[in-house]
Amino acid sequence: MKPEQWGSPLVHEKYQEEKACDKRHPYNNYHNNATTNNNNKALVIDSVVLEQAHKYNRNLYIAYIDYRKAFDSLPHSWLTQVLQIHKIDPQIINSLQQSMKKWTTTLQVKVKNHWIMSELIHTQRGIYQGESLRLLWFCLALNPLSYLLNRTNCGFGIHCGDQEMQRLNHLL
């Protein structure tokens, strides 16, 4: 997505300023990396939000999801329920439930010169790392929360003068 498509002229203007000052910026050399671009976009948006919150003395609440731990934190009961919410075929749900019952791990500890291994530990949270549906299933698990947040019409209004130009929420 190009910066001019971000919606808010203020964010675009701030982005252009940041881009012009940073010689390492992906638009200023041939290393145009999508991840770097998205990170820069997020930093610019954070900067504009913080500036306006301070300038207009507005309360600001921010929440972040630690995606490194998020995959491991979803209860299997929720993973099953989310498949039902999205009207996945019951046979597929049953198959995945049977698969989840087999997800196990062991712990190994080296004591002096030998290893001690735990018995099998059955997991009841998280999506197995080898599961081919891992990313899709995780996104499905977040959809109900995203839906609820969208319905609240909450977010941070980016203003230009007295006029609200853009409302930022979890989807930006």
pLDDT value at position 118?
A: 93
CA distance 161 to 142: 35
Q: How far is CA 167 from CA 32, 154, 157, in A?
A: 28, 8, 4
For 132, residues 6+ apart whose C-beta sits below 8 A from its C-beta are none
pTM surpassing 0.75? no
Q: Where are the domains of the chain?
A: 1-61, 67-147
Nearest to 80 by CA among 71, 90, 70: 90
pLDDT value at position 51?
A: 87
Q: Tell me the mean pLDDT per 10 residues along the chain, length 172.
A: 41 47 40 57 81 85 74 90 92 91 90 92 85 84 84 79 76 62
Contact 26, 32 (CB under 8 A): yes
pLDDT value at position 75?
A: 92
